[in-house]
Amino acid sequence: MQEEFDAAIIGSGHNSLVCAAHLQHKGWRTLVLEQASEPGGAVKTLDLTESGFRHDWAAMNLSLFAGSAFNKDYGEKLGACGLEFVPAANCFASVFPDGKWLGVGTDLEATANRIAALSEADAETWRKLVEEFPGKAEYIFALLGNPMKTHIQGRLFAKALWKKGAAWTTDLARLMIASPRAWLTGTFESDRLRATLAAWGMHLDFAPDIAGGAIFPYLESMANQSFGMVIGKGGADTLTRSLIGLIEEGGGEVRCGSPVTRITMDGARARGVELADGTRIGAKRAVIANVSPKNLEKLTGGGTGNADFDRAMAGFSHAPGTMMMHLALSDLPDWKASSELREFAYVHIAPSLDQMARTYQQAVAGQLPDEPVIVVGQPTAIDPSRAPDGRHVLWVQVRMVPAEIAGDAKGEITQSDWDVVKEAYAERVLDIIETHAPGLRNSIIARQVVSPLDLQSDNPNLVGGDQICGSHHLTQHFVFRPARGFATGDTPVKNLHLTGAAVWPGAGTGAGPGYLLARKLAGA
């Protein structure tokens, strides 16, 4: 006799766990099925180098989750299950070839003074933006935190018009669709300040000249200045473990090593799932798939039967890949621009808008970028518990690399197999970091390099190493995420739903897709 649950959820990414936890709280009996041996998808922490060095596999920044509606509602319960954040007052910085740097933290005077050294006018603009941020954030977060339904978003737009006026509302809409370059060059004088903020667009597939990307540098910079940043105590997996604890506390289950090969259907209704070993599990009320849209077809045995939907899933566009470098260190990087940089959670090496645009185009063309965008995460500067006393871990994200290598923009690497290329490319990355932090190699105790295809092998949702599970360009965002008419996670198959970063409101650790779906299914 097959097991039966109210909901069978495919994949243990944090949106799956959020969805399961809320449904369980509302009286549903839920089962989460994960193919990997470790739960959490991209949000997990592992001893990747040497014992005692805790490395976040992919996600490190948990600020979006800390500020999420789900954490507001369940934070106390999650805390009882072990969730613990560590705040970072020094959030992010950028370093430049001339030895200068710029950083943003919660001390407004310190940030403004650094900006004033570049441009007094920009410092004044920064203060004004920070002052205006709460008023804009009210509407932006309401947009991102509500279902993408016409009547809901229409009411929000009407409220903005009524309370703020047509000019204010139009300016906000312009910000939402502007490219990073358009907003940054229209707002600031300093090239360094523009580059420092634009680096956040590269976290979400927004090179400087792509429409719709301005909102991400804006939100990240203003939120970090206003609220700071948080990472997980001991590792990002504090989030995963606490969510699992909350699910199990309510009687639900999370099973690893349980790959789902098929969604079982009765006509146009999902009835359950079948595992690789032939086990069938019934789902009385919902099958919820936290999968990349491109992977849905094989689970449904050829598609849902709705030609338009199936075409959209097959054509779902992914962002360029990411390479990760996990370093165990005897000391933090000795940043030559300033020793203050050792206190920042992130240090970006992305010196100009033009360099970021070039890097993006090279990756899209299948070229290994000659000068990749490098995100140097320093979690042990914030949370020393992640490494033995006096030791450190470095979390290095190499943004915008091709999944399939057609060539090398620098003309040095001739191979195209990532298993061969990744170590050589890691040396290029280390060379770049060492121009800003001389002697870094001397402090490396051990390292592990993770290619885009390694990321995909571990988690099929990260297609080609795309850590955001799908481009957020305007044609695949808002009402079009993942397809027009299906931004709420519904599919043409009754009782079959999608969740995860491919569904509105998209990527990040904010829990939006999972919580919005769970609230809808459970009647809030």
**DSSP code for 369:** P
Q: What is the pLDDT of residue 468?
A: 95
The answer on pLDDT for 19 being more than 60 is: yes
Q: What pTM does this model have?
A: 0.96
The answer on pLDDT for 1 being more than 60 is: no
Considering only CA atoms, which of 417, 392, 391, 390 is closest in space to residue 406? 417
- pLDDT tens readout for residues 467-476: 999 999 999 9
pLDDT (average), residues 216-233:
97
pLDDT (average), residues 241-261:
97
The answer on pLDDT for 86 being more than 90 is: yes
Confidence band for 38, pLDDT divided at 50, 70 and 90:
very high
pLDDT (average), residues 460-485:
96
Confidence band for 357, pLDDT divided at 50, 70 and 90:
very high
Confidence band for 482, pLDDT divided at 50, 70 and 90:
very high
Q: What is the pLDDT of residue 184?
A: 98
Q: What is the pLDDT of residue 2?
A: 80
Secondary structure of residue 407 in the 3-state scheme: strand
pLDDT (average), residues 442-450:
98
- pLDDT tens readout for residues 283-331: 999 999 999 999 999 999 989 999 999 999 999 999 999 999 999 999 9
pLDDT (average), residues 100-118:
98
C-alpha dihedral over 155, 156, 162, 165, to 10 degrees? -140
Task: Round to whole Å and give the CA distance between 456 and 383.
Answer: 28
- pLDDT tens readout for residues 131-179: 999 999 999 999 999 999 989 999 999 999 999 999 999 999 999 999 9
Confidence band for 524, pLDDT divided at 50, 70 and 90:
confident
Q: Which two tokens stand for residue 430?
A: 């280390």
Mean residue pLDDT across the chain: 97
Which residues face 4 on adjacent strands?
282
pLDDT cut 90: percent of the chain above it: 98
DSSP H helical ranges for 146-278: 150-164, 166-177, 180-187, 191-198, 215-227, 237-249
Q: What is the pLDDT of residue 198?
A: 98
Task: Round to whole Å and give the CA distance between 477 and 499.
Answer: 14
Q: What is the pLDDT of residue 146?
A: 94
Hey, CA dihedral for 128, 129, 134, 135, is it positive or negative?
positive
* Contacts made by residues 112-116, CB under 8 angstroms, sequence distance 24+: 115/190, 115/193
Which residues face 288 on adjacent strands?
9, 497
Q: What is the pLDDT of residue 78?
A: 98
The answer on pLDDT for 249 being more than 60 is: yes
pLDDT (average), residues 462-468:
96
Single-letter code of the amino acid located at 400: M
**Domains and their CATH numbers in the chain:** 3-43+55-83+235-317+469-522 (3.50.50.60)
The answer on pLDDT for 84 being more than 70 is: yes
Q: What is the pLDDT of residue 267?
A: 83
The answer on pLDDT for 361 being more than 90 is: yes
- pLDDT tens readout for residues 412-425: 999 999 999 999 99
Task: Round to whole Å and give the CA distance between 524 and 520.
Answer: 6
Q: What is the pLDDT of residue 51?
A: 96
Give the number of residues written for the chain. Answer: 524
Q: Which two tokens stand for residue 123?
A: 């410092």
pLDDT (average), residues 198-217:
97
Omega before 369 cis (within 30°)? Answer: no
Cβ atoms of 238 and 84 closer than 8 Å: yes
